[in-house]
Amino acid sequence: MPAGSPPVNLLGFSPQALEGWVVGLGEKPFRARQLLKWLHQQRATGFNDMSNLAKAFRAQLSEKASIRAPEVIQDHISADGTRKWLLDAGAGNAVETVFIPEDDRGTLCISSQAGCTVACPFCSTGRQGFARNLSTAEIVGQLHLANRLLARQAHRLDSQGQPARATPGQALAPVSNVVMMGMGEPLLNYEALVPALQLMLHDDAYGLSRRRVTVSTSGVVPMIDRLAQDCPVALAVSLHAPNDALRDQLVPLNKKYPLRELMAACRRYLAAAPRDFITFEYVMLRGVNDSAVQARELIALVTNAEVQCKFNLIPFNPFPNSGYQRSEYRVACGFADRLTEAGFVTTIRKTRGQDIDAACGQLAGDIQDRTQITQRIAVHGRQPSCVRP
Ligand code: SAH
Ligand code: SF4
C-alpha cells in the first residue's frame, strides 16, 4: 500500500475478490473464508477478536485494511418495531435503511444510490435528483450495520452472558430477507450491486437464499438480462401503469425501455429466477392509474405478454408538492379484486412505521441541513393488509 493511501475497506470485497486479496498477502485461500465469516457473520468491526487468524496476519490486516460500514446519523424505532437509520453518504448526502420485523421474518430495505436519475415524479428520491452511486461496501454495509445494531437491540446473550454471535448455519442474524427497495435504482449501479448480492447469498457471509433477496427495478431492460446471468435473485418490477403513454410519464425510463421490451425481459428473467413469478409493483395514484378500465388493461398487458406474475399494490405516500394523492382505500381494494378475480395473486402493501415517518416510498436524500430530515421513507410490509379484510 503506498504511504498515505487509505486502508482498503474489506466490506467492499466480493467473496472471490477477498480470496484474491488474501492470497496476494501470501495467505492460504481458506483464510479468506475465515475472514469472510468474521466480517459478515460475526459482524466484526476490528481485527483483534479474530482469534483463529495468526497474529502476524491480523497485524497485516490492521495495517492494510479496515471494516467501515456507513455512519449512522439518525436512528429511529417505531412503536410497531420498524427501525430506520439515516446514514451518511458524504458531501451532505444521506441514504436510508429500514428494518421491518414480522413474526416469521425480518426484512431489510436497502438503498443503492444517493438520489436517483430515473426521476419518477411520484417518488421523493426521484424528485431530489442524483448525487452518486453507493459503493459495494456502502450497500452491504447497510446489512452489516443492521444485523449488528439489531442484535444489540435484541440483547441476545450467550451462556457466559456475552452477546451472542452467529455461527455458520445458525439463524441468529436478525435480517432474514433483503429488498433493494430503498433509495435509488439498483440496476443503474450494477457493478457495485452484484458483489453486494454475492455476499448476501454466500454461505460464509450472510447465507440468504436467492428467494429472500429481491431486487426492485424501474425496468432497466439490459441489466435485467445481465442479472439473470450473473446473480439471479427474486425480481420486483415497478410497473405503475398499464400502457406506454401513462408509464412514459410515471416512470420516464419507459421512453427508453417501453413495456413491450420490459415484458419480454421479465419473461426471459423467469427462466433463471429463483421464484416462478415476477412481482409487479403498482403505486396507487388517485385518478391517475387506479380505474377499472386501467385494471383491465393491466390484466390484458401481462396476460398477452405471458409473464407469470404477482401484483403488489402500494398505497401512495404523499410528500410536499408531490401533486399526487393516494387512491381511496375502497378503490384500491376494488382494483385488487379485479386482478385477483382474473387469477393474479394480489396484495396491498402494508404501511409500517408511520410514527417515525417511515411510510412507503419516500426516501430522504439531501441533508445539507441535517436538522431538516423530515421526509418520509419507504417501508415495505410483506403481508397484505387488505385485498379483503
Ligand atoms: N428504484 C427502484 C427501487 C426503489 S423504489 C424501483 O423504482 O423499483 C421502491 C418502490 O417504492 C418502487 O416500486 C417505487 O415505485 C415505490 N415508490 C416510490 N415513491 C413512492 C411513493 N411516494 N409512494 C409509494 N411508493 C413509492
Ligand atoms: Fe428512482 Fe425508483 Fe424513485 Fe423511480 S421510484 S425515482 S426508479 S427510486
Specify the CATH number for the domain of residue 221.
Answer: 3.20.20.70
Looking at the fold, whether 252 and 380 belong to one and the same domain comes out as yes
Looking at the fold, whether 139 and 108 belong to one and the same domain comes out as yes
pLDDT at 354: 65
Residue 283 CB less than 6 A away from ligand 2: no
Nearest Cα to Cα of residue 360 among 285, 272, 253, 249: 285
Residue 142 CB less than 6 A away from ligand 1: no
pLDDT band at 359 (very low <50, low <70, confident <90, very high): low
Atom of ligand 2 nearest to the CA of 127: 6
Residue nearest to atom 11 of ligand 1 (CA): 361
pLDDT at 363: 56
Residue 147 CB less than 6 A away from ligand 1: no
**C-alpha of residue 361 to centroid of ligand 1, in Å:** 5
Looking at the fold, whether 293 and 230 belong to one and the same domain comes out as yes
Ligand nearest to the CA of 181: 1
- Best residue among 237, 281, 290, 379 to mutate for probing ligand 1's pocket (most ligand atoms within 8 Å of CB) is 281
Ligand nearest to the CA of 193: 1
**C-alpha of residue 26 to centroid of ligand 2, in Å:** 44
In whole numbers, what is the pLDDT of the chain averaged over residues? 88
pLDDT band at 152 (very low <50, low <70, confident <90, very high): confident
Residue nearest to atom 1 of ligand 1 (CA): 185
- Calculate mean pLDDT across residues 239-266: 98
Residue 230: how many other CB atoms lie within 10 Å: 14
Looking at the fold, whether 156 and 194 belong to one and the same domain comes out as yes
pLDDT tens for 280-295 read 999 999 999 999 999 9
Residue 162 has pLDDT above 90, yes or no: no
Residue 218 CB less than 6 A away from ligand 2: yes
Residue 385 has pLDDT above 90, yes or no: no
pLDDT at 1: 53
Partners of 51 in beta bridges: none
**Whose grid coordinates read 388517485?**
286
How many structural domains compose the chain? 2
What is the reported pTM?
0.90
Atom of ligand 1 nearest to the CA of 183: 4
**C-alpha of residue 352 to centroid of ligand 1, in Å:** 15
Q: Which domain holds residue 40?
A: 8-66
Residue 381 has pLDDT above 80, yes or no: no
Looking at the fold, whether 365 and 306 belong to one and the same domain comes out as yes
Asked if residue 3 is part of any domain, the answer here is no
Ligand nearest to the CA of 284: 1
Asked if residue 2 is part of any domain, the answer here is no
Looking at the fold, whether 39 and 155 belong to one and the same domain comes out as no
Residue 123 CB less than 6 A away from ligand 2: yes
Asked if residue 1 is part of any domain, the answer here is no
Strands 278-284 and 234-238: parallel
Residue 185 CB less than 6 A away from ligand 2: yes
